[in-house]
Homo-oligomer: A and B are copies of this chain.
């Protein structure tokens, strides 16, 4: 049997369509114009590209984006001062801080200055902690994207063994909490793990975000595993992921491609989070 390819675009389109309808009805009911402020320090080309993609997605669903682009030698305090202005500005509903920040800035301090009720990416401690206590207020976009694909594909989680290759604050750690909240068994591997295949060979669901081309081959996965490839690795032939898709295509049950798998859903999930935040901003408890 050949693995099903789980394309992200139709899921992303559905999320954006739902967001568009919800935002339209919020606008009609509350006469509020949803607005998101992106804060960017420095002039990284990649970050600017990402901003343009997000602006496009915002325009599609009816959210007004604004940009605050600061010089690359901005201090931690200057950035916190801007965040605090945006926190109390009632015309701004969501704040999106473009990471990573330049080395001289204390990222933790800046992130913790964001009002959790305006935290589109779910990286404030209060929102991350809600993944541990099970409230799941705002889920970071990449973990949320994987969850949306799982729901869309009707994959059950209770009792399943999920292996995650990544232990960052952005992907692996929040994702592990989300799976535990749904009663999956969870193993988290990373660059310090010895013989990670001993774990991944047991996994019903494998999520890899290592950034190493051909890291995952047939010998690393269980027969009929469902595989999510979160890595985005630039090569001469375009971007690729961690998984040697040709090698596992006859062993896996399903796999997300790179590009066109988790990526587009992640962008849509920023919009989905924006809709959740809008609900808070018009009176629901945050």
Cα A172 to Cα B176 with chains together (Å): 11
Q: Mark A165-193, 1 if CB is under 8 A from B, else 0.
A: 00101001110110010011111111011
Cα A58 to Cα B210 with chains together (Å): 47
The reply on A217 being an interface residue by CB < 8 A is no
Can you spell out 13 A-B residue pairs with CB atoms less than 8 angstroms apart? A108-B135, A125-B135, A128-B129, A128-B133, A132-B177, A161-B194, A167-B180, A180-B190, A183-B190, A184-B192, A185-B194, A187-B199, A198-B202
The reply on A124 being an interface residue by CB < 8 A is yes
Give the secondary structure class of A's interface. mixed
The reply on A38 being an interface residue by CB < 8 A is no
A198 nearest in chain B by CB position? B202
Cα A190 to Cα B167 with chains together (Å): 21
Q: Is the CB of A130 within 8 A of B125?
A: yes
The reply on A134 being an interface residue by CB < 8 A is yes
Cα A131 to Cα B125 with chains together (Å): 9
Q: Is the CB of B169 within 8 A of A173?
A: no
